[in-house]
Structure 1
Amino acid sequence: MTDENEKPEGAPGSGAPEGGEAADGFVEAEGPDVETSLSDADQAFLNGEGELPEGMGPDGTPRAESEHLADLKRVTAEYANYRRRTERERETIKERATGDAARAILPVLDDLDRAEAHGDLAEGGPLTAIAQKLRGAVGRLGITAYGEKGELFDPHQHDAIFQRESPDVQQPTVSDVVERGYRIGDTTLRVAKVVVDTPSGS
């Protein structure tokens, strides 16, 4: 007697595939695997061979967009260089103009130094306030004085108007300052005039 639940071999739903039909009722595809269709140029590019696909830039973006980004980067770099160059030129022009004006008042600053050395700029003296205001104005312009006793002699920064041997020094050294030097930024307005002590026997 045949069981009602049994199904003939090969019958639908029996689980045994026949004629390529799977257990779930779907027909399996036969033949070679299906591949995505690519052009020869695209396939070569994906394989690292051949040229870029038409219309594409080296960074993988559309060629027009890639060229636009390259132009934008170049213009940005050129503008940055132009801005830095302009700022340097402006600063140089400013220093020159300030230096020209400062050179005209250096003799006045020298007179103040001499007056101070002679004790004429004592606290509360008539010229003390004027000297402080003038020196303050010069400092705000970025002008700095240099040249002090005890400095090592530098021929690029000092003008040695007199030299003398001394057993107390091992290297040429500033022993007296006749006129202080002045500079603005990296520009020397005037070198310092100094007396230099040199090692004995040099």
Structure 2
Amino acid sequence: MNDANAERGAEPSAQEGDTARPESGDRDAAAVIEALNAENGQLKDRVLRTLAEMENLRRRTEREVSDAKAYGVSSFARDMLTVVDNLSRALEHLPAEARASADPAVRSMIEGVELTARDLEAVLGRHGVKRLDPKGQKFDPNLHQAIFEAPDETVPAGTVSQVVQSGWTIGDRVLRPAMVGVSKGGPKTAPREAPASSGK
């Protein structure tokens, strides 16, 4: 009988222990879930950052490859501008009378120089190198280099009135600024004096 009472007395404590264990187990499981959710959030954030960095790297690489294609010939093209300038100067300094009176062999040579100059400019154009011809345009310090200023009443002040040396661009960059003369504009009119009063 004592044993039965002891067993009965032990039962409630066993049941109390059973109900206590699941509560602490629930707390442990909730803590584990919370820790897993936090870790999941950190990993998700890390993956998103890595994906963003990879996308930025891809864009930067594409831009660098595009720039290399467009501007890779810049140094070579800049050197070739001297050849273009020399051919242009040679043709500009040939008087029209000398050309007209030249014998056929000299005339053929002149035509060959003109053809070479046109072909060279066309080849540069195929590689994105274009001539700037700013005469009559407003002076732009990003594209032009002013080497003198001259009065000219026919155009507004700040207009390119003369191109001393052609400028060139490659893509959307300036390869060599145009060396230009800029107009000061017409002379300003002197302020008119007030008419003298007739009361004196």
TM-score (norm. length: structure 2) = 0.59
AA at the equivalent of 1:174: V
Task: Using the TM superposition, give the Cα deviation of residue 69 of structure 1 relative to its aligned residue in structure 2, in angstroms.
Answer: 3.3
Q: Which structure dedicates a bigger proportion of its chain to helix?
A: 2
AA at the equivalent of 2:162: D
AA at the equivalent of 2:184: T
TM-score (norm. length: structure 1) = 0.59
> Residues 1-202 of structure 1 correspond to what in structure 2 (within 5 A)?
54-55=34-35, 57=37, 64=40, 66-94=41-69, 97-114=72-89, 115=91, 125-201=111-187
Kept in 1: contact 2:162–2:180 (CA 8 A): yes
Name the CA distance, whole Å, in 2 between partners of 1:70 and 1:53.
18
Q: Which structure has the larger Rg?
A: 1
Q: Which stretch of structure 1 is more off in the superposition, 185-194 or 111-120?
A: 111-120
Q: Deviations over 1:52-108 (max 9, x none)?
A: 9525637xxxx53x4443332211100111122233344445555411101111112
Task: Using the TM superposition, give the Cα deviation of residue 178 of structure 1 relative to its aligned residue in structure 2, in angstroms.
Answer: 1.6
The percentage of aligned residue pairs carrying the same residue is 33
RMSD: 3.7
Between 1 and 2, higher relative CO (CA 8 Å, sep ≥ 6) is seen in 2
Task: Using the TM superposition, give the Cα deviation of residue 191 of structure 1 relative to its aligned residue in structure 2, in angstroms.
Answer: 1.0
For these two proteins, the number of residue pairs brought into alignment is 152
| Change in 2 beyond 3 A, CA 1:81/1:180 | same
Which sections of structure 1, spanning at least 5 residues, go unmatched?
A: 1-38, 46-50
